[in-house]
Every structure is written in structure tokens, then in C-alpha cells.
Structure 1
Amino acid sequence: MKNQKSKLSILLIMFWLYTPYPLPCVRLYAEEAALKKAKQLEELILLNPKDAKAIQSLDELSEIYFAERQYAPLIEFLRKLEKINPPGPCDVPAGYYIALCRYHQLKYLEESKNWQEYFDLGNVYRQELFLETEKLAEACPAAPSGVRAQALNWLQHKAQNDAQAASSLAKLTELVDNYLKTNPQDIEVIKEVADSLSKEEEPALARSTYNIYINQLLSIEKSPLKLQSIAESALKEGKVSLAELIYDRYIELVKDSLAKDNLANELTAVIKQFAASGQDKGNDPLYAEKLFVILKEACGKSYFNQELQYLRAYNLERLKEYARSAEEYAGLVTDFPKNIYLDQAEFKLGVIYTYILGQKELGLGYWQKVIERNSALEYVTEGLYHKSLINQYLEDFETAGAGYAKITELIVQIGALKNLSERVLERQKEIRESRPIEYNLKTFLDATLSRPLDTKAGLELLVSPFKVISLKEEEIKFSLQQLRIEMGCFAPELSYLWSGDLGSIQPQPTAPEFTTTYKAPGVKVVNLVVLGSSGVIGSSLEMVEVY
């Protein structure tokens, strides 16, 4: 018998491998297994509805039916559960799961665009959801099921954007307060409410509710290591606000008890989870900077090695806190004169001081240091280019021409530095023919060299990703975000003047974004000026690192 089963299994595998449509068969088999498991759970729940494990089984049962989009069988079972030996509504809240089922069903009808059922039965489903949640919240105001029901009630009102959303939210906060007065053992329901508030963009309420949850957690859990583990889990789940609040409490607990070395290691590990490293945007660069401040105050500057000093400077750059970023890059250069980031840091300091902070002479000085060190061709040539460009703009054509000529001498791998070569040839032609600098670029220089760049003016240029590998020719997207212009009822007509190292693409003036690639390593500087009917609205720049 055992051999026959083995042969049958092999035959089934061979069938799936060699038939032209194996995936639907596998899917059908998985669906059958899931629905079989659901029936087993139903029998288990009905056997003893008052058992403490009934709620856990109901959660598992609901997840199966939701995953399979099987809403009617779940409703049918829950109605049966209410009638057969019904437990108290606060113990095994079948009504909550009925409402939850309708919530998922309504969302699925919208996502799948099943408008026939949505318009024919949507109001029926909504009314059933509101009826069940209101009934449960009224019957069990100090029970987890009542709080969960009211949270679901609010989520549906908010989804509909109706007039009852505000009162439903007020009712939810009231139930949470009432629940706290019962000295609850199940505090996960508080976290669930906070998660919903955070997801639905109610940050102030979410934060206060998370704080309530953490206070309850601290009354139960005293171990810093356990708190650290909970914070890490929250971060993995994408609950950044919760993770930050728990880490705050964790740091408060260990700050005065750990030796400096250990505290510095702990803070550094947390910082790296939130900072913008370049490989990703970071979970929250602003929170990382808060921890950098704590690290420096608690442990001292000596605990910042060159990697950590660079990370702080880079993190501030990504926050567009350019003045503070420049301070940290300058500190990196001073404190670690042979650091591996030296050319990159000084080149960026040249960009930041010249084009953003309005301190041209200081910026030119940093580019000159890169040029004189002559250790990395991509930074030497770009430093020369920017110095020559400034001289050309100031009409010192002799110095500018000499700089451009030097670049052409240094460039051996013309193919690798094609973009730079093209820009240099264009600048040389402008000087030779007594023409002004190309319009987009000159407009940017006019806007930035006359005064510091206003990074808070609402014109924000973003880049994604921050770092790429040139050999892979990975795509990089530059896009304008959060442009706020008061123009009455009319949409303004805008022009987008892109300039700088644009890579493989020449974006159109009608495009507020573009995607490009780079073949040569180095820091690529992309400039943007936005024009409206009245003239320049604002300017910005962004830097991306190519390796």
C-alpha cells in the first residue's frame, strides 16, 4: 500500500512537471486543502464554542476564507455559531467576524471591480457591518471584542468618508479609555487600534495610542532585552512609529546602566536601522539623527569612527539639512584626513557650499583640494568642470578655457566619461563662439549663485535610488515633489529646466520627472529650475552616487 502511494505521488509530480498547464492544478489542490482545513476548524469550534481556543480558531478560519475569497460560507457558519449553543457575545464574538467578513468582501469587490454585486448588495453588506459592530460595542464596551468592533466600525465609515466617521473615531478612543480602566491582560487590542490609526493617517492619535500600549507593556515587561526584541519585531512589520517609541523607552532604560562602549554599540545598531545609508532610504532618517545626537551627548565624539561620521553627514544630506550636513562632512575631512570618503566628501562640500549655501569661495576651495590631491579621476575631472563653469559664468574665459582643456587631457577613457566629455565640448564651443552658457544651465546658475538656495520653498527634487552601480546601468529616477503654488482656480503652466549631469536622457521642459542611467562612476549633480508665467518659481539640485 505504501509503495502504491509513493508511485501515485511520483505520477502526480510528473504530471505537474510535464503537462503544459501545471500551475492551475497546483492552485486547485491548494484551494481544496485550505477549504478542507476550514471545515475541520468549523467542527472544532462548534464542538465547544466556549473553549478558550475558539477565538484563535475563528481567526485562523477567517484568514482561510478571506484568502480564498469565500465570504458566503464564512457568513453561513458564523450565523450557525450564533444559534447553536450561543456563547456570550463578548466571549466568542461571532458578530465581529461577520462584520470583518463584510469589510473584506466590500474591499475585494472594489479591487476586483465587481460592480454588479457591489452596487446590488454593497449597501446591504455595509448595513450588516454597522449593525454588528454597533451591537457588539454597546454590549461589550470594556472587552477586547467591543474595542475591535468599534475600530472596524470607524474604518468602514472612514472608507466611505461619511459624516459618521468623526463620531465613530471619538467612540473608539472612548472605548480604549474604558478598556484601560479594567486593568486589561490583552493589550494587543490597543496595538491593533494604534496600527489602524497609523495606517489611516491619524498620526497624533496613533502615537498617543501606541504610548498607551507601551505603558501597559512596561507594566508587564521589565526586561530591556525583551523591549529591544519587541521594537525589532515592530520594525520588521513596518510599524516604524511603534518601533521608535519602544526604542525610546529602551534607550531610557539602558542609557545610565550600560558602559559607554556597550551603549555606543547599542545606539549605533539602532541608528543603522533608521538612517539613509544610500542603499535604501532608511526607515526614518530624522529619528536616526535624533539618536546621533543622543550618542554624541552620552558617549562623546570619540565614538564616531569615519564610517559613522560619514553616515551622519550622508543622512543629513538626505534630510536636505545641508548646512548641518556640510558641518559633518567637514568634520569627517578634518578628523579623518585619510578616510576612504575624502574625495567624495570634499566634492560634495564644493557642491553644497557653492550651489546651496551661497558660499562660493568656500565651495571652490574644496574642489581645488580634490584637484590637487589628484587621487580619483572621476572627482578630479568633475571638480575641474565645476570650477571652470563658475569661471565661465563670471566671464573669466581664459581660466575657464584652461580648466576645460585640462579635463580633456585627463580623460583617457572617453567612452566611460562620455557625458562629461560632451559637457566640456559644449562649454568650450560657447567660449569659442562668444555665446552665453546653455539656457537651462545659466538659469540655474543665475538662481543659485546670487543667493543661497531656498530648500524650504516647497520645491523638492527627489532621486531614487540614492546609489547605483554603473556597470549594471541601473535606472535612476529624478522627480519633482511637493510643489505648492497659489494660482487660484487655474492650474499653472510650468516649464522644467533640467541641467547638469543628466546621464543617458535629455528630459523635456514639460516633464517634472525623468529616468536615466549612468555609465561612469562619481557623484552626479542634477539641477532643476521651475519657471512659471511670472518667471523663476524656484530651483533645486540633487546628487546621486554611481559606483
Structure 2
Amino acid sequence: MGSARDKSRTFMLGIKTTQKENFIVENLHRKECDIKKVRDKLIIIFLLIGFLFVQLCIAEQESERANLLKQNIKSSKALEDTELQLGELLDIYAKDNRFNEFYSFLKTLEKDKKFKATPLIYYYKTLTRFSQMQFLEENKMWEELFDNKDLYVSDTEVDLEKAKKLSTSTDALSLKLKFLEWQLKKDNEEVSINTLEDLFNLTQEYAQIHSDIQVIKDIADALSKEKQINYAKKLYSVFVSKISETGINQEELRKLTESFLEDDKIDLAISLYDVYLDRIINTQPDKSIAIQKMFDVAEKFAHSGWQEGLDPFYAEKVFKRIEFLYSIKAFSALSQYRRAYNLERSKEYESCLAEYLKLIDNFPKYQDKDRIYFRLGIFNVYVFNEIDQTKEYFLKVVSDYPKSLDYLNSLYHLGLLSHWQDNLEKASEFYKTILDKAKDIKTDSEIVTLTELRIKEIEEEKDIEYNLRMFLEAKLKEREEKKYIQLELFAKPAKNYLDEPVKFQTNSYFIDTGCLQQDFTYLWSGQLGSNQNPFNEYEFETSYQDLGTKVVNVVLVGPSGVVDGTIEMADIYKEAEE
């Protein structure tokens, strides 16, 4: 055995060796980190070089393109080509704030004989200065703007007057010039309105002479962006009228119309769809094809429940037109349901009831009649206060559709109506039937929870829960005073899947004036889903864990008591509706 001294030396040597190894490892790690940093820096440098190279190439290409455009402009004999080239050249110079350079080039063109009788050069000089001031303002280049604004404004005034003197014909350039004049003078309200009127009149004259009307749409688009909606609509109407006179075929017209829908120009799309439908009705020899195309248009604008309708009232207009031209026999069960549902979502309840009844009468084998009977019951009682008729619809669901998702719902509302009428024995009978059925089908849905609360109220001789009682009073109790505020409730979306969010939003306004109202108390009741306490909120979001139709109630309460109440329904699915 070695001495203690030898062991100590060995131990110390081990420590030194370990320290040395650690030092080497740390040093290697440090070098690896340094190499990685250098590599990362090199990558960034190469990327920057690549980016700069691409930018230089683009700049070189644009410079070559600008020089070519200048040559073409000077040598071109067709003013139409020159206008397009000047527009492209302005875009190139505008990217780098080289407006002064372009303006100087335009000044050299003033001396060219071919431009002396046209406002083209002066139009572009005015447009250049106007665009330059816009660019400086948008990019907050205040110093350059303030130092040169007087000069730029003076240039626009002089060039605009010269352009106007030379603008003697009604052509596309004259429309652009008049629009540019409005842009320069829009801050002066009186002058602005007069200029817009002149623009509209000039547009009408132009449309009578020319077939190329793209410029009208372009200016209408620009006015729309400037929030001049009324004048934009006027120009769009001129555009649509001209389109209807042209020989554009149906397919081109359809594509054009759908492009306006994609651009969210609903009013313009509707105007063109009217033209499109007229063409179909008057020229399509196959009636079934004409009908299907009309339904396709209607359903583009109708509420689906999954999404809000683009214009549900226009959808109903098309549905009415189909019925008028081809009779109710043109409707399938599905299209009849979609028509009725669109009216429901539009809060057109009288028409909605009529169309749902047509669905039941004309399509006795319709597979979702239970849902329709339930909806008829809800609307009859909570919209029209027709309790006796309502009970018939709910009893129809209970007697004929025991497996329906609306079976328990129908029993609940039958019980609730009896409860409200103080027929507690009958109410208890309906409520207990719900609990017995719930045990059989092993469900603990929200309607079961609500039923248990109603039974407890009866057993403990308590009033119906306050919010629900206020709703029933608002909808079922006769009131002598005139209703002066209208309350509306919207589910968004009105159809969704299990556990997906549904937002309920109210809208209230004075009936006579249309002014919005918000200084009231909101009392919610019904099937509130996962959000059981939306206290005094004008809107709330929730979700549902069981399938079927959910009925939500809200009451508006003011200082003098109940003002109005309303209902809304949301439908919850496992899978998307076919």
C-alpha cells in the first residue's frame, strides 16, 4: 500500500489534470462560439450584399426602362401610347421621390409641337406636383414639404389652368383632369361639390360617346376610397348602364360582377347582377338552367348561418323574382329552407313564417320538419304572442318527433308557458317529462339544468328567475304604452360547432329617429351556454357542449321599467350542414 503522501500527490495530480481538461474544453467551446459568431456575421453580410445586389439590379433595370420610355415618348406619334408611357414613367420616378426630375422632363416636352394642342403634358405636370406633395406628407418629410409647398401649389394652379384651356373634347383624359381638379380643391366644400357635379355630368357625356368605360370605374373606385360614396354610386350607375348596353357576353358579365364582389363593392355587384339576371331570363332557352343560375345568385347574398349574408334583402328580391317568373314549383326543399332562413336572419318574421309554412306544406317529406315546427313555435309566442298556436307547434314536435334534438326544448317551452300562466300542475308535468326523458337518453344538457331550476321554483313557491320573468313580461304581457325603442339581437355565427364561440350582440334604437341607445340595463336569460353570467352587457360570447337549437333571451330595462325584449337562436352541429 502507498503512503498517505503518495495518495495525496496522486489526488492533487488528478485535480490538476481535471482542471487542465476543463480549461481545454472551455477554450474549445469559446472558440466554437467565436467561430459561430463570425459565421453568423458572414451570413448576414452575404445576405446584405445579395439584397443590395438585387436592389442595384432592379434600379439598373428601372433606369434602363425609364430611358427607353423617355425615348419612346419623344418619338411616339400616338398620344394614347404616350399617356400610358408617361404614367409608367411617373411611377418609376415616384418610388425614389424623383418627382422634380420627372417634372423637368415634362417641361422639355412642352416645346414639342405634337403636345401643343393637348392637355396631356399639363395634366401630368399637375399630377406630378400633387403626387409629390402627397408623398412628402405620407412619408413625414416635413422640411422639404414646408420649404417648397408654395412653389408646388403655384405650379399645380398654373398647370391645371393650362390643361383646362386645352381640354376641349370629352375623352378619358378630360375625366381624369376633372377628377384631379377635385382632388386639388376638395378642402373647399362649395368648390368641391360643384366640381363633383361637373365630373358626373362629364361622365354621362363621355358614356354616350365612348365604349371604353374603364376610366369611369377607375374614378368611381377612387371616389369611393375618398369616402365620396354618393358620387361614387352615381358614376357606378353610369358604368352599369353602359355595360348593359354593350355586347358583353353572359360569362364575361358574370366574371366582372364577381370581381366586384371580391373587391367588396356590393352595390355595384348588385346592379350588375340585375343586368346579368335580365340577360339570363331573356336569352336562356333552358328554363332549368335559368332557374339554377338565379338561385346561385340569391344564395351568394343570403344568410347561411355559418356566415353573414352580403345583402340578404337582395337575396329575397331574387327569390321573389324566381317565384314570380317560374312559380313556387321552381323551389326545392333546400332552396325553400334557405329562403325562409334568410328571412329569419333578416328579422323579417312575418315573411319568414310564411316561407317556413310553405316548406312544410309543399315538402311533406322534408327531413328536418321538427326543427321548423320548433322555430314556428318560438316565433309565434315570443315575436307575435300567439300562445295557443305556439302550443300546437311544440306539441307537434313532442308527439311526432320523440328523437328530435328539439324534443326537450319543446317540452321546456310548453312547461314555461304553463308556468307563466300559473298552471303549475301542467308546468310540473312537462318539466318532469323532460327529466324522465333525460334519464332515458342519458343527457345532462343545459335544458335539463334549466328545467331543474323551474321545478325548484315551483316546489319552493318562488317566482320565475328575475331575468327570465322580465323577458316573459316584455313579450307576453299586454302593454298599453307605445313601444318607442326597438331591440334586436344577433347571433354571430348563428350556426357553429360544439365548443366553438358564438357571440350574441344587441342593437337598440329609437323607432322614430333611428338613434342608437346604450344607457340601459341588459338582462339575459335562456340557454346561455358556457357564459352563465353576462351581467348588464350589450353583447357576450359563449359556446355550447350539446347539440341542437339554443334560444337566448334579452330584455332592455330603463328607468321606467321594461322597454323591450327579444330572442335569438343559434344552431349547434357536429358536422357542417349539407
The two structures have a TM-score, normalised by structure 1, of 0.81
Aligned to 1:359: 386
In structure 2, how many angstroms separate the alpha carbons of the residues matched to 1:26 and 1:300? 68
More displaced stretch, 436-445 vs 305-314: 436-445
Aligned length: 518
Distance 1:490 1:544, change over 3 A: closer
Q: For residues 524 and 381 of structure 2, what CA distance do their matches in structure 1 show?
A: 18
Give the equivalent residue in structure 2 for 1:498: 524
Q: Is the 8 A contact 1:525 1:541 kept in 2?
A: yes
C-alpha separation between the residues in 1 aligned to 2:87 and 2:486?
A: 46
2:502–2:543 CA contact under 8 A, matched in 1: yes
Per-residue CA deviations over 1:273-292 (Å, capped at 9, x if unaligned) read 11112222122111111111
Partner of 1:399: 426
Matched, 1:468 2:496: yes
User: In 2, distance between residues paired with 1:241 and 1:361?
Assistant: 43
Identity over aligned pairs, percent: 28
Who is 2:471 aligned against? Answer: 444
For 1:166 and 1:456, how far apart are their aligned partners in 2? Answer: 37
Report the secondary structure of 2:390's partner residue.
helix
In 1: Cα distance, 2:148 partner to 2:502 partner: 43
Pair 1:543-2:569 in alignment = yes
Partner in structure 2 of residue 426 of structure 1: 453
Among 254, 272, 278, the alignment partner of 1:252 is: 278
Deviation, structure 1 residue 186: 3.0
Deviation at 1:218, TM superposition (A): 3.5
Alignment of 1:7-46 (within 5 A): 38-46=62-70
Is 1:483 aligned to residue 498 of structure 2?
Answer: no
8 Å Cα contact 1:102-1:125 kept in structure 2 = no
- Which residue among 236, 242, 248 is the counterpart of 1:210? 236
Compare CA radii of gyration and give the structure with the larger one.
2
1:214-225 equivalences in 2 (<5 Å): 214-225=240-251
- Asked whether the equivalents of residues 274 and 284 of structure 1 are also in contact (C-alpha less than 8 Å), the reply is yes
1:71 deviates by 6.2
1:293–1:85 distance in 2 versus 1, CA, 3 Å: same
Amino acid at match of 1:324: S
Report the more deviating stretch, 171-180 or 325-334. 171-180
CA drift of 1:187 comes to: 0.7
Letter in 2 for 1:267: M
Given candidates 489, 503, 518, the residue that maps to 2:544 is 518
Relative to structure 1, the CA distance from residue 180 to residue 47 in structure 2 (aligned partners, 3 Å threshold; closer, same or farther) is same
Aligned pair 1:324/2:351, yes or no? yes
Partner of 2:554, secondary structure, is: strand
Paired position in structure 1 for 2:401: 374
Q: 1:514 to 1:140 in 2, by over 3 A?
A: farther
Match of 1:239 in 2: 265
Counterpart AA for 2:97 = A
Change (3 A) 1:336 1:486: closer
Aligned: 1:195 with 2:221:
yes
Alpha-carbon distance, 1:332 to partner:
1.0
Q: Which residue of structure 2 lines up, in the alignment, with residue 295 of structure 1?
A: 322
String of CA shifts for 1:471-522, please: whole Å, max 9, x gaps: xx222222223534899x9987311111211121135443211111122221
Do the aligned partners of residues 286 and 34 (structure 1) sit closer, same or farther apart at CA in structure 2, a change above 3 Å counting? farther
Report SS of the residue matched to 1:463: strand
Q: What residue identity is the alignment partner of 1:101?
A: S
AA partner of residue 539 (structure 2):
E
Cα distance in 2 for partners of 1:250, 1:497 equals: 47
- TM-score norm. by structure 2 comes to 0.77
User: In the alignment, which of 297, 308, 311 is matched to residue 338 of structure 2?
Assistant: 311
- For 1:83, the equivalent position in structure 2 comes to 107
Deviates more, 1:332-341 or 1:221-230: 221-230
Using the TM superposition, give the Cα deviation of residue 178 of structure 1 relative to its aligned residue in structure 2, in angstroms. 4.1
1:101 aligns with 2:101: no
- What per-residue deviation string (whole Å, max 9, x for no partner) do you get for residues 228-268 of structure 1? 33222222222222221122122223313323212211211
1:405-443 deviations in Å (ceiling 9; x for gaps):
222222359997543233222222211211111111111
CA RMSD of aligned residues (A): 4.0
CA pair 85-107 structure 1, distance change in 2 beyond 3 A = closer
Change (3 A) 1:127 1:469: farther
* Contact 1:38-1:65 at 8 Å conserved across structures: no
SS of 1:411 mapped into structure 2: helix
Match of 1:286 in 2: 313
Which one of 264, 268, 292 corresponds to residue 291 of structure 2?
A: 264
